[in-house]
Amino acid sequence: MRPSILRRLLRRVASTAALALVAATLSTVGAAPPAAAAGGLQQVTGFGSNPGNLQMYEYAPAGLPANAPLVIALHGCTQTANDYYTNSGWPKYADLWGFAVVFPQTTSANNALSCFGWFDPAKDTRGKGEAASIVQMVEHAKQSHGSDARRVYVTGLSAGGGMTADLLAAYPDVFAGGSVASGLPAQCATSQAAASGCQTGPQKLTPAQWGDKVRGSYPGYSGPWPRVAIWQGTSDYTVYPANATALRDQWTDVWGIGQTPSSTDTLPGNTTRSTYNDASGKPAVQTYSVSGMGHGLAVNPGSGTEQCGSTAAYFLNTICSTYFTGVFWGLDQGAPGGGQLPAPSGLQVTGVTANSASLSWNAVPEAASYAVYRNGTKVASPTATTYTDTGLKAGTAYRYAVAAVDGSGTSGTTSPQVTATTTGSVPAQCFTATNYAHVTARRAHTTGGYVYANGSNEKMGLYNVFVTHTLKESPAGYFVLADSGCTT
Half-sphere exposure of 231 (CA within 13 A, CB side): 33
Half-sphere exposure of 344 (CA within 13 A, CB side): 31
Closest C-alpha among 445, 446, 443, 421 to residue 430: 443
Q: Is the dihedral of CA 164, 165, 171, 173 positive or negative?
A: positive
Compute how many other C-beta atoms are within 10 angstroms of the C-beta atom of residue 257. Answer: 17
Strand partners, 20: none
Closest C-alpha among 424, 181, 216 to residue 320: 181
Active site residue 235: no
Opening angle at CA 340, ends 337 and 344, nearest 5:
145
Rounded to whole angstroms, the Cα distance separating 238 from 23 reads: 8
Q: In degrees rounded to 5, what are phi and psi of residue 138?
A: -60, -50
Rounded to whole angstroms, the Cα distance separating 270 from 456 reads: 26
Closest C-alpha among 228, 112, 217, 219 to residue 179: 228
The strand ranges marked E within 214-355 are 227-233, 263-267, 271-277, 283-290, 297-299, 315-317, 348-352
Closest C-alpha among 400, 277, 335 to residue 68: 335
- Selecting among 88, 114, 158, 415, the annotated active-site residue is 158
The type of residue at 377 is T
Phi-psi region of 79 (alpha: psi -120 to 50; beta: other; left: phi over 0): beta
Contact predicate 52/132, CB 8 Å: yes
Tell me the catalytic residues: 158
